[in-house]
Amino acid sequence: MKIAPSVLSADFANLGREVEKVSLAGADYIHLDVMDGIFVPNISFGAGVIKSIRPYTSVPFDVHLMIEKPRRYINDFLNAGADIITIHKEAEPELDKTIREIKLGGARCGISIKPATDVNDVLEYLPFIDLVLVMTVEPGFGGQSFIADMMSKVRVLRNEIDKNAFSTLIEVDGGIDSNTVKIAEKAGVDICVAGTSVYKAADVKKAISTLKLSQK
């Protein structure tokens, strides 16, 4: 399993060092949760913060935009050094144009769906995107419980991707720990985001290795 630690649970006073720490501990991606207080009830950080921590690691930046009409800000996140930019299906009326702009800008593009969103709503985009992010909690906060029912969406996606030989990756986000990672692995997930279970662990390196053991 590939692991993307989410810095939402890190020490914000030392973000550069926190990113460096999980990189040395084996992180496959650094997951960066951008929240605007409108699409989700919480506010986190924006492109400026991401740009300032970019020099601390060469691990790819997986930027999860939980913001209304993200198209307005794609250039900012490209300039900040995002490698993957994931936008929410529910937040962007101009999805096609936004996907094109992200890819033309040289980044990989992901589409995310909230727990209440039908997985069939994203199937038509699979040939054009690099990643689908299935939320396994209601977006907005770290530390919530994994919604195992979301694995039915993962199974639909896995089947559709394999059947058509697409290269789209499946990522899940929320409530991932040493138990739930196994459920995700079984359903066919490629990348697990993990905030609390990595950053609040006594031994970060051990926490990441344990999650990665669910090998794909």
Residues that bind ligand DX5 (CB under 6 A): 6, 8-9, 31, 33, 64, 137, 139-140, 142-144, 173-176, 193-196
Q: What region does 37 belong to: left with phi over 0, alpha with psi -120 to 50, or beta?
A: left
Contact 169, 201 (CB under 8 A): no
Contacts for 139 with CB less than 8 Å, ≥ 6 apart: 35, 39, 40, 66, 88, 112, 114, 173, 174
Using CB under 5 A as the criterion, what x/- string covers residues 183-212 for binding Zn ion? ------------------------------
Q: Give which of 129, 142, 132 is closest to 199, Cα–Cα.
A: 142
Q: Does 114 bind Zn ion (CB under 5 A)?
A: no
Q: Hey, which residues are catalytic here?
A: 33, 173
User: Minimal CB distance to ligand DX5: which residue?
Assistant: 195
Name the one range near Zn ion by CB under 5 A: 39-47, 64-72, 141-149, 206-214.
64-72
Which is closer to ligand DX5, CB of 130 or CB of 173?
A: 173
Measured CA to CA, the distance from residue 108 to residue 186 in angstroms comes to: 25
Contacts for 209 with CB less than 8 Å, ≥ 6 apart: 25, 26
Among 64, 71, 88, 153, binds Zn ion (CB under 5 A): 64
Which is closer to ligand DX5, CB of 133 or CB of 156?
A: 133
Q: Does 33 bind Zn ion (CB under 5 A)?
A: yes
Which is closer to ligand DX5, CB of 109 or CB of 172?
A: 172
Nearest 5°: CA angle at 56, between 11 and 45?
A: 50
- Residue tagged 């993307």 (tokens): 4
Q: Does 36 bind Zn ion (CB under 5 A)?
A: no
Measured CA to CA, the distance from residue 50 to residue 76 in angstroms comes to: 10
Which is closer to Zn ion, CB of 3 or CB of 104?
A: 3
Smallest distance from ligand DX5 to CB 165, Å: 29
Contact 88, 39 (CB under 8 A): yes
Using CB under 5 A as the criterion, what x/- string covers residues 159-178 for binding Zn ion? --------------x-----
Count of residues touching Zn ion (by CB under 5 A):
3
Residue ranges in contact with Zn ion by CB under 5 A: 33, 64, 173
